[in-house]
Structure formats: C-alpha cells, structure tokens
Amino acid sequence: MPLTMDTLVSLSKRRGFVFQSSEIYGGTGSVWDYGPLGVELKQNIKRLWWRDFVQMRPDMVGIDAAILMHPNVWRASGHVEQFTDPMVDCRECQHRFRADHVDARPWLHFCPATKGNKFEIAAGEACPRCGARRTLCPDCGKGELTTARNFNLMFKTFMGPVEDDAAVTYLRPETAQAMFVNFENVLQSMRLKLPFGIAQAGRSFRNEITPGNFIFRTREFEQMEIEYFVNPHETVEGRPADEYWHDRWIADCMAWFRRYGLSEGNLRLREHEKDELAHYAKRTLDIEYRFPIGWSELMGIANRTDYDLKQHAKFSGKTLTYFDEERKEHVVPYVIEPAAGVDRALLAFLAEAYQEEEVRGEKRVVLRFHPELAPVKVAVLPLLKKREEIVKTAHGIRSELARHWRVVYDDTAAIGRLYRRQDEVGTPYCVTVDVQTVGDSEKGEQGDQRVTIRDRDSMQQVRVPMRELVPVFQELLTGGDWAAVAGRFGTAAAAAAG
C-alpha cells in the first residue's frame, strides 16, 4: 500500500513528532508544533546541515539575523512589489485558491449527461461522461471563480507602539536577505576571499493562500539557506565561476539528501523553464522529492546573479562590492543560493524512513532513520523491573550514555512491546539489562556485566561488556557497520523476543 499523508500525520501525533498548533482551540491547518521527538529530529537535521555545509568547510561562515528587518530591505529585494501569488475566490462557497493551483486539483462536477449526478474528476481531466472540463469552483462545483488578483504573501506588522504607516514592517518571508544586508559586515569582520558563503537557518513566514498537506506548506516554517558569493570574472575548469559553482552546489545538495537516507528513486532535479524563472535568476533548479502527495519541491538552487547586492546598494546608498586584488578592481559578486526548507526535509526523511513489515505474524512499524537523524539514539530497557539491581544498572547506563547522546529509559511494558515502541520512533539501538548482567547477590552469583544491544533494522542482538558501550555506540552512530560489531561480539541467542 502506498504511504499516505494521513498515516504520517497520525503517527506524528501518536508518537510525539508533530502536533496541530493550538489543537485544544480547534487547531489550525496552517501551522504545526513539533513535539518531544519532532524537535530532536528537526534539530538533528539543522545540526547536520550546519556541520556538513558550514563547520566542515573553510569557505563558509554562518549568521543568525533578526526576523524583523528594516522595511526598506523588502522594497529593495522586490518583495513589497512582487512577492505575490495570483488568488481567485469562488463566488458561491467563498473558498480561495491560488489561481495557478486550481487546475492541479481534482474537481467536483454535476454531470448533465447523468441528470446532474455529482462526480469527483481527477486533476486536469475532462468528465468521461459528458466531456466537459472544469470551469467552475473545484470545491463546490457550482460557483464561478473571480478573476485573479495579486495577493502579497508577507505578514505585515508594526514596529513600536504607534500603528501608523511609518512603523509598518514585515515578518521575513525568507532568511536570504539578511545575508545580503550583512554582506559587508561579514566580509570585513572575517576577512574573507571569494568564493565564500554565508549560511543561516531560521524561521520564515508566508501568508500562503492555500497552506496544507501537513508540514509541506505552512504559514510559519524554517529554512536553511546559503548565499554563496563568487567572482563573476573568474573561471573554474574553463567555465564561468558562477556556472561551475551552481552545478557544484546542486551535486552537493543532492548528495547530502542521499547521504542521510533519501533514495535515488525518490529524488529528481527539475530545471525551471525560462518563463518560470524569477526575474533576477540566470538559472534555477529544484530538487524534488516524491512525497506522499507526489513529486514536489524539496529545495531550490538558484543563480541569483548580482541582483540582490546591487539592489541593496541602490536602496541603502552603501557600496556592496568586493575588491579583487589580482585584477585590481571592485566587483559585485554573483550569488548561488541553495535554499532548503527544514520542515519539508523532515517530512521527506519521515516518509522515506516509514516502513511496515510482518514479523512473526505481526505488523511491525519501523522508522529506518539514518542513526544521525534518529531523535533517540539508544533506549535502555530493564528486562525485569521488579529486580532492583537490574533497574539501578539500567538507570546508570542511561545516564552514562546520555552524556553523549539522546538516550531514554523505559520500563512501562514487557520487552517485546518496548522494542516495538522504539522501532516506531526510529531508535536505532536498544540496550537490555537482564539477570545475567547483574547476577543474584542473595545466591552469591556474580553478574557477567554484559548487556544486550539490539539492532533496529536486523533485529539481531549482541552481548557486549557494559564498559564497551560508549566506544561501540561511538562506532555505530557515526556510520559504523552493525555487521562488523556483530562479528566482533557474536550475535547472541535472543535474550528476549526481538
């Protein structure tokens, strides 16, 4: 059965990944809250992105800018004038649609060929009975749609206590502009040489006309954006530097998503057609993912040329150039912009990880997250919660491992149930403490000080000395191979049903 969005929404709620915002007041479909496991997953995504694209690269630095910016930023960037979507309303049911999305929806049709019976017809298709195409509202099938008018997606707000026009500003609709506005500050304070990039991850806000599809399109979301500045007069491997770096970033971003688990067959590149390109862009590609709603944009990678720096120079009256020592000239760098959505990345990783399988006649739901993404890395489970020694040892292991990773302790069910719970939230490893570990002091029996590690994916178990847990997990959680660890310690006869 193909995975549906409903399955992910319900798992997310049940297991503490994502909740509807303000749910006790009836909720809103346009914003969502991340729960205890969702926040871990989201932080892991941002941390890995930062580690791989900022921390590890000599040519990258980061910033964390304010959400509220000077209103002229949005005049210079073109957002006040042009950050609009065409909107249409139904005259009958008053529903609103993005004009360019209307034909991409299934539509409701009262077919004259069948005495007005009601049918839902697939997006873009004609009625198979009467041949009619959609002209009316896709939702109610009765109302005419108004002509399209432009609707600005920025949230307006007021800076200061006086609600007059002079104080109007906006919640940022993207994080990118802060990198352009801070270009000179970053360049001078860090003494950078082209090419270099500035990265930022943070909240953005868009008053989307039709938000929906869970966390795919919301009105408040997070972005991870990079502005990579290159010298347009340079060539790399015989190509203009901007074109070379654009292709490099496309390849690097694709590789990043694959590295953390998105499969080749669920990823593709889509080049923007000339008539679809933003006015400032020389070339743009989207990385698309096969979400449960079909192929849709996961991130965009645009060559924005020197448009933004020139606009901000014009509006601010400041010089935003780079001095090219070699050519002894001031240049306005070109910009390559890899712009990803944190929430869409999370949705893609969640959808990809989700699997249902049958184990010993029972359904097992498992999230096969890459270990570095998994919200919880290790669960420590006592086999018998009535044995004080076992419980004490398990708590001790949890607090030792928690110095390094997110680790939980759970004794609220029998071991088989506990394993299933951890599978369902994608915990890669469980550690079980049993009688053999601690022995029986009353009988004068010594424990072997070994515990069982159980692997989520293969459900195999190995028995490992307690003192080796930290190095073993250091290996396993940073790309180490389970088979190698299993080979070293030997897979155990199951300590309990896996």
Ranges within 136-195 binding ligand ATP (CB under 6 A): 174
15 vs 206 by CB, closer to ligand ATP: 206
32 vs 419 by CB, closer to ligand ATP: 32
CA–CA distance, 75 with 61 (Å, rounded to integer): 26
Residue of minimal Cβ distance to ligand ATP: 341
Binding to ligand ATP by residue 377, rule CB under 6 A? no
Binding to ligand ATP by residue 288, rule CB under 6 A? no
Q: How far is the CB of 107 from ligand ATP (least distance, A)?
A: 21
Phi, psi of 358 (to 5 degrees): -105, 125
CA–CA distance, 326 with 323 (Å, rounded to integer): 9
Q: How far is the CB of 204 from ligand ATP (least distance, A)?
A: 7
Contact 53, 189 (CB under 8 A): no
**Sign of the dihedral through C-alpha 383, 385, 390, 392:** positive
297 vs 324 by CB, closer to ligand ATP: 297
The b-or-e profile of 397-436 (16+ CB within 10 A means b, else e) is bbeebeeebbbbbbbeeebeebbbbbbbbbbbbbbbbbeb
Nearest to 311 by CA among 279, 353, 346: 279
Going residue by residue from 209 to 238, which x/- string records binding to ligand ATP, judged by CB under 6 A?
A: --------xx--x-x---------------
Binding to ligand ATP by residue 38, rule CB under 6 A? no
Parallel, antiparallel or unpaired: strands 445-446 and 439-440? antiparallel
Binding to ligand ATP by residue 498, rule CB under 6 A? no
217 vs 283 by CB, closer to ligand ATP: 217
Residue 446 pairs in a beta bridge with: 439
Residues in the chain: 498
Q: How far is the CB of 342 from ligand ATP (least distance, A)?
A: 8
Q: How far is the CB of 369 from ligand ATP (least distance, A)?
A: 19
User: What distances in angstroms separate CA 444 from CA 394, 437, 439, 467, one per listed residue?
Assistant: 21, 14, 8, 22
User: What distances in angstroms separate CA 109 from CA 97, 106, 338, 495, one per listed residue?
Assistant: 17, 10, 42, 60
337 vs 410 by CB, closer to ligand ATP: 337
Going residue by residue from 385 to 424, which x/- string records binding to ligand ATP, judged by CB under 6 A?
A: ----------------------------------------
107 vs 257 by CB, closer to ligand ATP: 257
CA–CA distance, 362 with 378 (Å, rounded to integer): 24
Binding to ligand ATP by residue 344, rule CB under 6 A? yes
Q: How far is the CB of 174 from ligand ATP (least distance, A)?
A: 6
272 vs 368 by CB, closer to ligand ATP: 272
Interface with ligand ATP (CB under 6 A), residue from 299, 309, 353, 438 = 299
Interface with ligand ATP (CB under 6 A), residue from 340, 351, 380, 418 = 340
Which of these ranges, 69-77, 159-167, 293-301, 396-404, lies near ligand ATP under the rule CB under 6 A? 293-301
Interface with ligand ATP (CB under 6 A), residue from 40, 139, 234, 343 = 343
Contact 97, 145 (CB under 8 A): yes
The b-or-e profile of 165-174 (16+ CB within 10 A means b, else e) is eeeebbbbbb
Q: How far is the CB of 105 from ligand ATP (least distance, A)?
A: 15
Q: How far is the CB of 93 from ligand ATP (least distance, A)?
A: 24
20 vs 437 by CB, closer to ligand ATP: 20
Binding to ligand ATP by residue 300, rule CB under 6 A? yes
Binding to ligand ATP by residue 247, rule CB under 6 A? no
223 vs 321 by CB, closer to ligand ATP: 223
Q: What tokens appear for 485 in the block?
A: 């660890």
174 vs 252 by CB, closer to ligand ATP: 174
Interface with ligand ATP (CB under 6 A), residue from 42, 79, 206, 290 = 206
Which of these ranges, 237-245, 341-349, 379-387, 483-491, lies near ligand ATP under the rule CB under 6 A? 341-349
Ranges within 320-339 binding ligand ATP (CB under 6 A): 339
Q: How far is the CB of 45 from ligand ATP (least distance, A)?
A: 12
Q: How far is the CB of 44 from ligand ATP (least distance, A)?
A: 17
Helix 36-50, helix 342-353: angle, nearest 10:
110
Q: How far is the CB of 21 from ligand ATP (least distance, A)?
A: 13
> Could you tell me how many residues of this chain bind ligand ATP (CB under 6 A)?
16
User: What distances in angstroms separate CA 42 from CA 110, 224, 374, one per listed residue?
Assistant: 45, 12, 10
**Sign of the dihedral through C-alpha 109, 110, 114, 120:** positive
Contact 476, 428 (CB under 8 A): yes
Judged by the rule CB under 6 A, the positions of this chain that interact with ligand ATP are 174, 206, 208, 217-218, 221, 223, 297-300, 339-341, 343-344
